[in-house]
Amino acid sequence: MRYLLIFILCLPFSVYAELSFKQLEAISTTPEKLQGSFKQEKYLSHLEVSLNSSGTFSYQRGLAIHWYTLEPIQNELIMTENSIINRQGDKELVNLDGRSNPAIALLSEIFFAVLTAQWQQLASHFELSGEENGKQWRAELIPKDKMINQFADKIVLRGDSLLREIVLYESNGDHTTIHFDDLQ
């Protein structure tokens, strides 16, 4: 009986094993194409307010991520591995080219890698910790590079075979949560 209790207490620890990028690669799948909807909450700590938005997204691996914010304002963000284009309707608002702007290059590279679960690429920029339980996993990414700290102190990812949630923590206490639904 006593041994059973110990066994039960130990259970979560033995099942939620330490996580490596290799394991993540084994668990999660990165389909060629994926689309779905998202809900985003940006929390601004010094004003204690949250800004909520939602929309849909789609990506094609290796090509581009389309990020359509529908509420409260409409906007389309197109990310490739080296550029970020902001569009409203047919109007191109901002076009940031990573080739001439190193900060943008880094930013889009990381965001691209996070969304499409390119663990190899993330491994070069982050230290990983977290746990997995069969199909569920939670990964905490701490930047190796202080440059990345400028826009994220810590990134937490949750998912099963697909990525379900991203939380980006900033050094000033702000954080952004992105939740994915209807993935197909």
Partner 1 sequence: MNKQFKILKSLAIIWLLFVVVISILAMQRGTGFDSSIMTLLPKSQQNSNVQNATQQMTERFSKRLLLLLSAEDEHDVRQAVAELATRLATMPEVAEVTWQVNVDELTQSQQQSFPYRFAVLDPTVRAQLLNKDFEEIKTQALLNLYSPINMGQTKLIEDPFGLFSVLSLNRKNDLNIQVSHTLLKVTNSQQPSYLILLTLADDPFSPALQNSLLTVITSYQEQFNNKGIDLTMSGMLLHAAVGAEQAKQEITTIGLGSLLGIIIMILLVFRQLKPLLLMLFAISIGCISATAVTIMVFERVHLITLAFGAGLVGVSVDYALHFLCERRVRTADTIMSKIMPGLILGLFSSVLAYAAQGFAPFPGLQQMAVFSVVGLSSAWLTVVLWFPLITSNDQLSPLIMASKLDLLRQKMPRLEKHPIMIGGLLLLLVFLAVNSLSKNSNIDDIRLLQTSPAHLLEQEKAVQQQLAASSSSQFMLIQAKTMEQCLQKEEQLHPLFNKLVATGLMGGYQSLSAVLPSLQRQTENQHLVTQLYEHKLENFYDEINLPQSVLLDAQTQMKLATSQMLTPQIWQQQLGHTMWQDLMVSDHQQGAATLIRFKGELTQDAKQQLQVLSDNDNEVLFVDQVQALSDLLGNYRSEVINWVMLAYLIVFLVLFMRYKRQVWRIVLPPLLASIFTLAVLVQLEQGINLFHLMALILVLGIGLDMGIFLTETRDAAHTWLAVSLSAYTSLLAFGLLAWSDTPVLHHFGLTVLLGLSFIWLLVPLMRKEQTRRYE
Q: Which residues bind partner 1 (CB under 8 A)?
A: 40, 42, 44, 46-47, 49, 51, 53, 67, 69, 72-73, 75, 77, 79, 84, 86, 88, 93-94, 96, 99-108, 111, 124-125, 144-147, 149-152, 168, 170, 172, 174, 176, 178
Identify the three-state secondary structure at position 174: coil
Q: Which residues contact 137 (CB under 8 A, 6 or more apart)?
A: 19, 24, 27, 28, 130, 131, 158, 159, 160
Between residues 132 and 170, which has the closer beta carbon with respect to partner 1? 170
Cβ-based nearer residue to partner 1, 9 or 94: 94
Query: Of the two residues 27 and 106, which places its CB atom closer to partner 1 in the complex?
Result: 106
Q: Whole-number minimum distance, CB 8 to partner 1, in Å? A: 41
Of the pair 111, 137, the CB lying nearest partner 1 is at 111
Reading the block at residue 116, the tokens are 């499409």
Burial of 150 (0-12, 13-18, 19+ CB in 10 A): middle
* DSSP sequence for 11-30: HHHHHSEE--HHHHHHH---
Instruction: Please list the alpha-helical segments (H only) found in the chain.
Output: 2-15, 21-27, 102-115, 119-125, 146-149
Cis peptide before 72 (omega within 30 of 0): yes
**What is the smallest separation between the CB atom of 30 and partner 1, expressed in angstroms?**
18
Other CB atoms within 10 Å distance of the CB of residue 84: 22
- State the minimum distance, in angstroms, from the CB of residue 135 to partner 1: 25
Q: What minimum distance in Å lies between the beta carbon of 80 and partner 1?
A: 13
CB of 172 to partner 1, least distance (A): 6
Residue closer to partner 1 (CB basis): 16 or 66: 66
